[in-house]
Amino acid sequence: MLKIGVVGASGYSGVELTRLTLSHPRLELRLATSNSYAGQQLSEIYPQFSGLDLKLVNNDLNQLAEHCQLVFLCLPHGRSMAFAQALRDRDIPVIDLSADFRLPDREIYRQYYEVEHTSPALLSSAIYGLPELHRERIRSASLIANPGCYATGALLGLLPLFKSGLPIEDVIVDAKSGISGAGRKPAIDTSFVEAASSMTAYKVASHRHQPEIYSQLRAISQKDFLFTFTPHLAPMKRGILSTIYVKLSSSELKRDFYQLYSDFYREEPFVRLLPPDVMPRTRSVAGTNFCQINLALDKKARRLIIVTVLDNLIKGAAGQAIENLNLTRGWDETLGLTNLAPLA
Ligand SMILES: NC(=O)c1ccc[n+]([C@@H]2O[C@H](COP(=O)([O-])OP(=O)(O)OC[C@H]3O[C@@H](n4cnc5c(N)ncnc54)[C@H](OP(=O)(O)O)[C@@H]3O)[C@@H](O)[C@H]2O)c1
């Protein structure tokens, strides 16, 4: 059994990681941390864990290094990097769910996250943990930057096109997220009265996942392209639906894009291209590590329209983190992650 630690286990992605860890056949949860709730049972915050002895402890690096063979960091950006540095200095592998190691350029990180990166050397050794893109590099990684939730949905929708070498000049990603995407910390905008029965765009033209998505796609295409990303808050607890528009030239309209996507994802364990005309819905992937996709060609507008759905807390966070861990250990990538969504 691999002894693992979850730092930030009181938050939404941390608690989902804790839950997934408990049903994983090869993981032993040794430490679950929280500064605010240290000393309390996890079941005092989340009654789902009632009957299990899961006492939260402080974020103590020495304890983590002594008891854990791998640590998941589920902290806000700006907080993870110091932990990652200290754990890597002690040779403990780290999977970081925050954005601290996702952007290759520390200047862009500073610009979007408004904090100075304090571990630039480590930054260059981090592997971006999207298995469908970097599976081989993830296998030998000791620091994994787990992708953002919006970024996962957008990238999975666009990878087949970018990998096909199609010249792409203009992409729009319009994405809607459930409120858990904002984390557990209370805020006016995500309170029930403000968010229920209502939708709003936010961080228009300035969201932090914009450079993350762009940098991964730009590394594939090796060419600049126009890219717009608009996130919305949707009145649901979890899930992200992304509608992606890609401008095509007239000569590309004859291509069989459905076949392209079908071939690209045929062997992928967690990406499902739905039958033609069945559009993805967030409910079908809730609580699972699956991403479902479909697409349609608007010939008049010369746009390919791709729709993806995933659970922000699972394929967009904790599930993908376990998938990455499975890869680093040489285990079956799907271990502990094959459940399907309940009906409702
Ligand atoms: N929510 C999502 O859908 C999602 C998806 C992908 C990635 N992520 C990323 O995952 C990370 C955690 O997100 P979340 O949604 O789980 O957030 P959350 O629900 O707000 O939880 C944050 C966790 O970090 C701890 N924490 C907060 N401020 C801290 C500080 N100053 N120092 C040390 N610990 C601190 C909290 O612990 P205490 O109990 O000590 O306060 C809590 O356990 C973020 O970087 C987020 O961007 C989130």
**Tokens representing 22?**
């408990």
Full set of structural domains in the chain with CATH? 2-125 (3.40.50.720), 150-312 (3.30.360.10)
What is the Cα–Cα distance from 314 to 287, expressed in whole angstroms? 6
| Ligand 1 pocket residues where CB is under 6 Å | 8, 10-14, 34-37, 59, 74-77, 79, 97-99, 148-149, 180-181, 183-185, 312-313, 316-317
**Ligand 1 centre and the CA of 70: distance in Å?**
18
Cα–Cα nearest to 194, from 205, 182, 206 = 182
pLDDT of residue 344: 79
**Ligand 1 centre and the CA of 80: distance in Å?**
10
pLDDT of residue 190: 93
What is the Cα–Cα distance from 287 to 16, expressed in whole angstroms? 9
Cα–Cα nearest to 189, from 147, 232, 230 = 232
What's the helix, strand, coil split of the chain in %, to 5?
35, 20, 40
Q: ∠ at Cα 311 (2, 322), nearest 5°?
A: 10
pLDDT of residue 5: 98
**Ligand 1 centre and the CA of 72: distance in Å?**
12
pLDDT of residue 343: 87
**Ligand 1 centre and the CA of 73: distance in Å?**
9
Tell me the best of 10, 13, 103 to mutate to test the pocket of ligand 1, counting ligand atoms within 8 Å of each CB and taking the most.
Answer: 13
Residue 73 burial (CB count, 10 A): 28
**Tokens representing 143?**
């620091």
From the candidates 68, 74, 149, 291, give the one annotated as an active-site residue: 149
Cα–Cα nearest to 171, from 96, 99, 223 = 223
**Ligand 1 centre and the CA of 98: distance in Å?**
8
State the first-to-last Cα distance of the chain, in angstroms, to the nearest integer. 34
Which residue is it, tokens 């919006």? 150
Cβ neighbours for 79, distance < 8 A, ≥ 6 positions apart: 98
pLDDT of residue 242: 98
DSSP E strands in the chain: the ranges are 2-7, 27-33, 70-73, 94-96, 127-128, 143-145, 170-177, 200-201, 226-233, 240-247, 271-273, 291-298, 303-310
What is the Cα–Cα distance from 256 to 292, expressed in whole angstroms? 19
The ligand 1 atom nearest the CA atom of 181? 3
pLDDT of residue 118: 95
CA 58 to chain centre: 25
The ligand 1 atom nearest the CA atom of 184? 19
Give the helix/strand (H/E) hosting 270: none
Tell me the best of 75, 96, 150, 155 to mutate to test the pocket of ligand 1, counting ligand atoms within 8 Å of each CB and taking the most.
Answer: 75
**Ligand 1 centre and the CA of 90: distance in Å?**
23
Cα–Cα nearest to 182, from 131, 250, 234, 134 = 234
Check if 149 is active-site.
Answer: yes
pLDDT of residue 7: 98
pLDDT digit string (tens) for the chain, length 344 residues = 999 999 999 999 999 999 999 999 999 999 999 999 999 999 999 999 999 999 999 999 999 999 999 999 999 999 999 999 999 999 999 999 999 999 999 999 999 999 999 999 999 999 999 999 999 999 999 999 999 999 999 999 999 999 999 999 999 999 999 999 999 999 999 999 999 999 999 999 999 999 999 999 999 999 999 999 999 999 999 999 999 999 999 999 999 999 999 999 999 999 999 999 899 999 999 999 999 999 999 999 999 999 999 999 999 999 999 999 999 999 999 999 999 999 87
Q: Report the nearest-CA residue for atom 35 of ligand 1.
A: 75
Give the helix/strand (H/E) hosting 60: none
Q: Report the nearest-CA residue for atom 32 of ligand 1.
A: 79
The ligand 1 atom nearest the CA atom of 35? 40
pLDDT of residue 225: 98
Cβ neighbours for 161, distance < 8 A, ≥ 6 positions apart: 168, 246, 257, 260, 304
The ligand 1 atom nearest the CA atom of 238? 3
The ligand 1 atom nearest the CA atom of 80? 45
What is the Cα–Cα distance from 81 to 104, expressed in whole angstroms? 14
For residues 163-198, one letter each, b for 16 or more C-beta atoms within 10 angstroms of the residue's C-beta and e for the rest, the string is eeebebeebbbbbbbbbbbbbeeeeeebeeeebeee
